């Protein structure tokens, strides 16, 4: 499913974290889908500090808006590295409006009735940088969300796909990126990473070679099973309490005070010093 | 530099990687020993170092540097080290007339400023000199530390933009390295610091995190160091992605050992 992500169109959110980075997956997906790559370099001077005049007018947002007004009709994939940068520098509403305008171009065909090619927008988003509000807003705009994670050195992608008029699907795909940025899908965490119990160490039975007897004979076992616990409220006990029999011998305390006992009810311990 | 830390990071001054951003962070402890390590490491690697020191004076770093085998005074005199002493030069912003903006010009601005003058200072300090006589290997930017910039009134996005530009110029254009220190506020809720720390973590290739022990102060184990390499999810990664060691800081060195294996305990 990971390799057919871009077939669906709309906005695909690639959510990564510090531990599991998503840039290499973004590059792998771009490599898979792109026949012809146009690269807008906003890395060197995104805020136009150098003022050399080389920067594109309007900065990254201007470039993104320019893509809304494209005239060629072929399918196009727009990859954004990263959406987090845009979200930190622009108001969330502006970014969402621009993304919506770019990703849903094919729903508003131009006046002459000719079909517009599908637009795929692939955005890299760093989860820890944003609060639940902006994340939720981008999430609701997205057709597909891929959340990166992993275990034991093996990366996985959880793909949540929302297609119109269909149930959302949720799948997890294990993968790795090869050095040439091609995507290699895997079945699960590779075996070499799983902890294995060493078959050469024999399991020792701790119950063997004891100097005391831990086992019960058959008679002892029966006697134990038939024993009622003192605090268990069984039906016999309930009846005994409801119908007290006066002849039932209850326990008595027989006390013979000896010569030194001085039973003073006000000072039984004889330690008041008044 | 600390040889044991070099072993853990699998690097030496002769064969260090270039074009990398290293993030140092500390939580509930003092991570400045990592700054001293990298300062002496890159000076020994014959790099041109630009040190933006906002926390301590020059003499402090010099004294520690001498224990680690580098002489900062001599390095500065021969042009290998460009040292911006934040504590001293912050006052110059107010009392000395400057033709061009001072690197710490943002201190004068009432509204949220940016660090463009500081970036221009770094760029001018590290750009290759045409005379070619010096022959330094590659440029290195060291910042101690970035959290104080937040306390001085800058926003996290402004500091992230500054590091972005430094990365573009120093790491990508000049094939050098950038090392920065950020404090982790930990339990204290500090949104701006969290954005700065997470944003830098996503841009870094290597993250060294010094943490105090969860059980509190100990005489023989001063803390725990977590090393995280941020590498693409490749199938043939032979090195571990993340390692954790405990450490003890001594007068001239730091010794590292696996958790629970401190010599004092064994």
Per-residue confidence at B238, pLDDT binned at 50, 70, 90? very low
Q: Is A149 at the interface with chain B, CB within 8 A?
A: no
**Contact flag A21-B232 (C-beta cutoff 8 Å):** yes
d(CA B262, CA B219): 11
Beta strands in B131-222 (DSSP E): 139-144, 177-183, 206-211
Across the interface, do A18 and B234 touch by the CB < 8 Å criterion?
no
Whether residues B172 and A44 touch (CB distance < 8 A) is answered with yes
CA distance A81 to A16: 12
Is residue B224 one of the residues assigned to a domain? no
- Looking at the complex, does the CB of residue A89 fall below 8 Å from at least one CB of chain B? yes
CB contact under 8 A, A25 and B233: yes
Residue B222 counted as domain residue: no
Question: Which of A18, A46, A190 is the closest to B202 by Cβ?
Answer: A18
Distance of residue A75 Cα from the nearest chain B Cα, in angstroms: 29
pTM of the model: 0.78
pLDDT tier at B134, thresholds 50, 70, 90:
low
CA distance B119 to B173: 14
Residue B238 lies in a domain: no
Q: What is the token pair recorded at A144?
A: 């597909």
Q: Is residue B184 part of a domain?
A: yes
Give me the pLDDT at residue B132, please. Answer: 57
d(CA A230, CA A237): 10
pLDDT of B23 over the 80 cut: yes
Chain A residue numbers touching B237 (CB-CB < 8 A): 153
The shortest CB-CB distance from A89 to any of B157, B202, B237 is to: B157
How close B254 gets to chain A, by Cα (Å)?
27
pLDDT of residue A176: 84
pLDDT band at B57 (very low <50, low <70, confident <90, very high): very high
pLDDT, tens digit (0-9, with 9 covering 90-100), for A132-151: 999 999 999 898 999 998 88
Whether residue A177 and residue B207 make contact (CB cut-off 8 A), yes or no, is no
In a domain, B262, yes or no: no
Predicted local distance difference test score (pLDDT) of residue B84: 93
What values do phi and psi take at B159, rounded to 5?
Answer: -70, -40
Rounded (10°) angle between helices B116-126 and B156-166: 20
pLDDT along chain A (274 residues), means of 10: 72 89 88 78 82 69 76 75 90 90 65 61 90 91 90 85 84 86 77 49 70 86 85 76 66 78 72 77
In a domain, B193, yes or no: yes
For tokens 């977590």, the residue is: B226
- Give the confidence band of B176 by pLDDT, cuts at 50, 70, 90: very high
pLDDT at B177 over 90: yes
- Chain B residues with CB under 8 Å of A43 CB are 168, 172
Instruction: Give the CATH number for residue B205.
Output: 3.40.50.300
Does B173 contact chain A (CB < 8 Å)?
A: yes
Q: Which tokens belong to A251?
A: 């326990």
Q: Give me the torsion for CA of B160, B163, B168, B171, rounded to 10°.
A: -140
* Overall domain count for chain B: 1
Chain B neighbors of A184, CB-CB under 8 A: 235
Using the beta-carbon criterion (under 8 Å), do A126 and B165 form an inter-chain contact? Answer: no
- Residue located via tokens 């990564």: A16
Is residue B26 in some structural domain?
yes
- CB-closest option in B198, B234, B240 to A177: B234
**Section B83-93 average pLDDT:** 87
Euclidean distance between CA atoms A173 and A108, whole angstroms: 34
CB B156 within 8 A of CB A85: no
Contact B173 A178 (CB under 8 A): no
In whole angstroms, give the CA distance from residue B152 to residue B86. 12
Residues in chain B closer than 8 A to A54 (CB atoms): none
Interchain contact, A129 vs B195, CB within 8 Å: yes
Establish if B234 touches chain A: CB-CB under 8 angstroms.
yes
- Establish if B225 belongs to a structural domain: no
Pairs of CB atoms within 8 A across A/B = 71
Q: How far is CA B227 from CA B29, B34, B195, B208, B216, in A?
A: 16, 12, 20, 5, 21
CA distances, A184 to each of A16, A34, A156, A174, B100 (Å): 18, 18, 11, 9, 53
Instruction: List, in sequence order, every beta strand (DSSP E) within A59-215.
Output: 76-80, 119-126, 144-151, 154-161, 169-177, 183-186
Range of the structural domain that residue B23 is part of: 3-213
- Encode burial over B181-202: b for 16+ CB neighbours within 10 A, e otherwise: bbbbbeeeebebbebbbbbbbb
Q: Which residues of B touch A84 (CB under 8 A)?
A: 199, 202
DSSP string across B73-86? HHHHHTTSEEEEEH
Q: How far is A97 from chain B (nearest CA, A)?
A: 22
- Provide the β-strand partners of residue A156: A149, A174
Contact between chains at A126 and B202 (C-beta distance less than 8 A): yes
Q: Which of the pair, B155 or A71, is modelled with greater confidence?
A: B155
Helices (H), A104-155: 132-141
State the Cα–Cα distance between residues B137 and B12, nearest whole angstrom: 14
For the record, the structure tokens of A89 come out as 């520098």
């Amino acid at each position: 499913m990971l390799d057919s992500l871009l077939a669906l169109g709309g906005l695909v959110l690639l959510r990564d974290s510090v531990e599991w980075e998503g840039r290499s997956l973004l590059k792998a997906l771009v490599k898979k889908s792109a026949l012809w790559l146009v690269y807008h370099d906003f890395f060197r001077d995104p805020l136009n500090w150098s003022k050399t005049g080389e920067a594109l007018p309007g900065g990254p947002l201007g470039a993104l808006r320019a893509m809304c007004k494209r005239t060629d009709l072929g399918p196009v994939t727009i990859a954004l590295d990263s959406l987090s940068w845009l979200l930190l520098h622009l108001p969330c509403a502006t970014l969402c409006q621009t993304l919506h305008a770019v990703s849903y171009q094919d729903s508003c065909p131009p006046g002459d009735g000719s079909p517009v090619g599908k637009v795929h927008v692939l955005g890299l988003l760093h989860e820890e940088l944003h609060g639940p509000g902006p994340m939720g807003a981008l999430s609701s705009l997205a057709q597909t969300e891929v959340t990166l994670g992993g275990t034991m050195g093996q990366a996985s992608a959880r793909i949540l796909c929302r297609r119109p008029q269909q149930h959302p699907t949720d799948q997890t795909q294990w993968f790795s990126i090869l050095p040439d940025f091609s995507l290699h899908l895997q079945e699960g965490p590779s075996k070499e990473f799983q902890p294995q119990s060493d078959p050469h160490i024999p399991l020792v039975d701790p119950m063997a070679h004891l100097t005391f007897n831990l086992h019960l004979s058959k008679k002892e076992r029966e006697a134990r099973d038939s024993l009622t616990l003192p605090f268990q409220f069984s039906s016999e006990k309930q009846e005994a309490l409801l119908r007290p029999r006066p002849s039932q011998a209850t326990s008595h305390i027989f006390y013979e005070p000896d010569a030194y006992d001085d039973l003073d009810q006000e000072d039984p311990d004889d330690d008041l010093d008044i | 530099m600390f040889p044991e830390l070099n072993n853990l990071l699998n690097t030496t001054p002769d064969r260090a990687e270039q074009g990398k951003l290293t993030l140092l962070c500390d939580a509930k402890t003092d991570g400045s020993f990592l700054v001293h390590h990298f300062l002496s490491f890159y000076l020994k690697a014959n790099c041109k170092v630009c040190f933006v020191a906002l926390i301590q004076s020059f003499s402090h770093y010099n004294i520690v540097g001498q224990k680690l085998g580098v002489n900062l005074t001599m390095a500065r005199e021969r042009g290998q080290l460009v040292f911006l002493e934040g504590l001293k030069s912050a006052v110059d912003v107010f009392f000395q007339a400057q033709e061009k903006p001072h690197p710490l010009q943002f201190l004068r601005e009432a509204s949220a400023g940016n660090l463009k003058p500081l970036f221009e200072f770094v760029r001018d300090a590290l750009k290759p000199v045409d005379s070619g006589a010096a022959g330094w290997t590659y440029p290195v930017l060291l910042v101690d530390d970035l959290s104080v910039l937040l306390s001085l009134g800058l926003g996290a996005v402004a500091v992230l933009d500054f590091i972005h530009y430094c990365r573009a110029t120093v790491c990508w254009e000049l094939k050098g390295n950038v090392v920065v220190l950020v404090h982790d506020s930990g339990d204290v809720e500090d949104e701006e610091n969290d954005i700065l720390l997470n944003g830098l973590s996503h841009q870094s290739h290597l993250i060294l995190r010094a943490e105090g022990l969860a059980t509190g102060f100990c005489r023989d184990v001063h803390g725990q160091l977590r090393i995280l390499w941020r590498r693409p999810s490749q199938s043939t990664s032979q090195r571990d992605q993340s390692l954790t060691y405990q450490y003890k800081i001594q007068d001239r060195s730091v010794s590292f050992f696996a958790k629970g294996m401190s010599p004092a305990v064994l």
